[in-house]
């Protein structure tokens, strides 16, 4: 049975992804920040292939503890897909330049940019042992340099641009291990982060991302794309 580790699986897109992959025969290791994520607990009781792991991607200690817990839950010692979904977009991001809060900006970067790198570094031995060998980073169109239209959201946009660069660097570094890396814009979704006026439901995005993850990517295939597989501009 194929396996996937999903970060930020507590709610929104992360939870929809956990549902989608578990419904399609995957062993799902759902990494969550909340102490008792009710939705995930219910899902794990409904589907025994869903295993819960507490993880805060912003701290080395929490990620290291999650690796230990994962090792106990996964006898095969492998991951087919690592899906870095955990991310934040704080209300303070919409402040003007004069009111930028650098404490919030640093927290945003630590979660959105360094969180995925921290997770890849810690779980890399398991990815190398997997059959699929795919790292899927949930990025954003906000990380595009050439298509940027915003005047604010400095911390969020910069953190996603950094994640895009990270995805390129990881692909270059991991090519020798036959590991494919992609960065996916999930669409503007009706979630706590996206708001009620967004274009699509998180389940719609999760369905399309699942289809993407099932593809056989070549190592030299494009990295940055949207949830439907359409190539994005860096």
**CATH assignment of the domain containing 212:** 3.40.50.720
Note whether residue 232 is domain-resident.
no
Note whether residue 96 is domain-resident.
yes
Stretch 200-217: mean pLDDT: 97
Buried b (16+ CB within 10 A) or exposed e, 24-48: eebbbbbbbbeeebebbeebbeeee
Stretch 164-171: mean pLDDT: 98
Q: How many domains does the chain have?
A: 1
Note whether residue 104 is domain-resident.
yes
In tens, the pLDDT along 12-60 reads 999 999 999 999 999 999 999 999 899 999 999 999 999 999 999 999 9
pLDDT score of 55: 98
Distance in angstroms (rounded) separating the CA atoms of residues 34 and 11: 10
Note whether residue 198 is domain-resident.
yes
| pTM of the full structure | 0.96
The three-state secondary structure class of 83 is: strand
Distance in angstroms (rounded) separating the CA atoms of residues 124 and 121: 5
Stretch 124-149: mean pLDDT: 97
Note whether residue 233 is domain-resident.
no
- Segments in the chain forming alpha helices (H): 12-23, 38-46, 60-73, 102-109, 115-129, 154-174, 202-213
Please list, in sequence order, all residues whose beta carbon lies within 8 angstroms of the beta carbon of residue 106, skipping any fewer than 6 positions away: none
- At 193, is the pLDDT very low, low, confident or very high (cuts 50, 70, 90)? confident
* Rg over CA atoms, the chain: 17
Stretch 88-112: mean pLDDT: 96
pLDDT score of 36: 87
Both tokens assigned to 136: 């899927």
Asked if 4 and 26 count as a contact pair (C-beta separation under 8 A), the reply is yes
Stretch 137-153: mean pLDDT: 96
- At 196, is the pLDDT very low, low, confident or very high (cuts 50, 70, 90)? confident
Range of the domain at 45: 3-226
Note whether residue 218 is domain-resident.
yes
Sheet holding 27-32, edge to edge: 50-54, 27-32, 3-6, 81-84, 134-138, 180-185, 224-226
Please list, in sequence order, all residues whose beta carbon lies within 8 angstroms of the beta carbon of residue 60, skipping any fewer than 6 positions away: 118
The three-state secondary structure class of 150 is: coil
Residue 225's CB is within 10 A of a number of other CB atoms, namely 17
Q: What are phi and psi of 67, to 5 degrees?
A: -60, -45
Note whether residue 231 is domain-resident.
no
Note whether residue 199 is domain-resident.
yes
Distance in angstroms (rounded) separating the CA atoms of residues 223 and 180: 9
């Amino acid at each position: 049975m194929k396996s996937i580790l999903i970060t930020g699986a507590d709610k929104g897109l992360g939870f929809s992804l956990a549902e989608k992959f578990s419904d399609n025969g995957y062993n799902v290791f759902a990494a969550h920040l909340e102490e008792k994520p009710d939705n995930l607990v219910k899902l794990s009781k409904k589907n025994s292939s869903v295993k819960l792991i507490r993880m805060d991607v912003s701290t080395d200690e929490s990620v290291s503890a999650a690796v230990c817990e994962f090792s106990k839950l996964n006898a095969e010692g492998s991951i087919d897909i690592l899906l870095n979904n955990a991310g934040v977009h704080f209300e303070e991001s919409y402040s003007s330049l004069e009111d930028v809060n650098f404490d919030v900006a640093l927290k945003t970067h630590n979660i959105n940019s360094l969180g995925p790198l921290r997770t890849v570094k810690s779980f890399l031995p398991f990815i190398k042992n997997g059959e699929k060998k795919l790292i899927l980073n949930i990025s954003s169109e906000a990380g595009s340099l050439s298509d940027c239209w915003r005047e604010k959201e400095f911390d969020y946009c910069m953190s996603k641009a950094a994640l895009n660069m990270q995805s390129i660097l990881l692909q270059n570094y991991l090519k020798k291990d036959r590991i494919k890396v992609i960065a996916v814009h999930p669409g503007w979704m009706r979630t706590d982060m996206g708001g009620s006026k967004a274009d699509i439901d998180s389940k719609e995005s999760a369905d399309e991302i699942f289809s993407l993850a099932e593809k056989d990517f070549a190592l030299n295939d494009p990295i940055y794309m949207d949830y439907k597989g359409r190539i994005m501009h860096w």
